[in-house]
Amino acid sequence: MSQASPGFSRGHLMILACALLWSFGGVFVKVLTLRYGVDPAAIACLRSAAAGLLLAWALPGLAKAPKWRALGSGLAYTVVVGSFVVSTAGTTAANAIFLQYAYPLFVAVGAVLVFKERLGARTVLAVALGVAGVAVILVFSWRGGERAGLAWGFASSITFATFALFQRSMRAGSPAGLSSLYNLMAAALLLPLAWGRLAVSAEALVVVAAMGVFQLGLPYVLFIQGLRSVPATDGALITLVEPILNPLWVWLAVGEAPTWNSLVGGGLILVALAVRFLGARSPG
């Protein structure tokens, strides 16, 4: 049985960089829907197509990748990226991203059941605090007009945990190639939902392409590579940086201010990160 590594490694830093790039997702979605009128299904499909095509050169590196795990990962990934966009369009960016970040709880449970990882007291407390933060967001935001967005956000958390656990078990295959495969699968599977909604302006198409490359494709390369040397629960906790920054960028870009419960939930998540990693060189 393995215990979560106490200190920061190269793998931890790769996942942190990934989370920083992911955090701009809310800005992209809000700008594309509010300023350019792009349908959420079209955003999800086109950004995955852009990311997949950018990294298609790496597909030959998947010759030794476990095929069924890669396909399962691709299906989970499709639901993650699709539901996140729909959720962000259907509720506030803060609510969407914090709901998605219930996923560390599912990762922790899965890591114990599947990989026999032993969770130290520090990690258990950190996960509990992080999930409490998400609960604050959910409980105080459950109202009629936003329920669909909230439900999609929670669905994203479950499939994100599934995806993370799949990646933790994959030791072979080019990370860039896997990112390309997952995004091409997502683009193909989301195409029927986006069909008839893909007519976007040239300017909006450039924004979608930038989103696909810098906010989706490249970060997932870092995420996949990082999880090969980082315990699944550690990876989940590091990415909690994303829901802290995502609402901030949206507020600065389009003026959508987080509600009080978003701020309280975010504060709990920051505490969770501090509990897990501050002074982490002593046993957790």
| Residue ranges covered by each domain of the chain | 10-277
pLDDT of 210-236, one tens digit each?
999 999 889 988 988 888 888 877 887
C-alpha 188: how far from chain center: 20
Express as a percent the part of the chain with pLDDT over 70: 94
Res. 133: pLDDT tops 50: yes
pLDDT of 19-69, one tens digit each?
999 999 999 999 999 999 999 999 999 999 999 998 999 999 888 888 888
Taking each helix axis as running N to C, give the angle between helix 10-22 and helix 241-254, from 0 to 180 degrees, rounded to the nearest 10: 30
**Contacts of 157 by beta carbon, 8 Å cutoff, 6+ apart:** 99, 100, 101, 102, 103, 106, 134
Q: What is the distance between the alpha carbons of residues 41 and 198, in angstroms, rounded to a whole number?
A: 9
Res. 243: pLDDT tops 90: no
Residue with tokens 């914090």: 98
DSSP lists the bridge partners of residue 118 as 3
Rg value, the chain, Cα:
18
pTM above 0.85, yes or no: no
Structure tokens at 215: 């906010």
Report the 10 Å Cβ neighbour count for 64. 9
Res. 97: pLDDT tops 80: yes
* Higher-scoring residue by pLDDT: 134, 13: 13
Residue with tokens 């990415």: 239
182-198: average pLDDT? 94
* Residue pair 238/19 in contact by the 8 Å Cβ criterion: yes
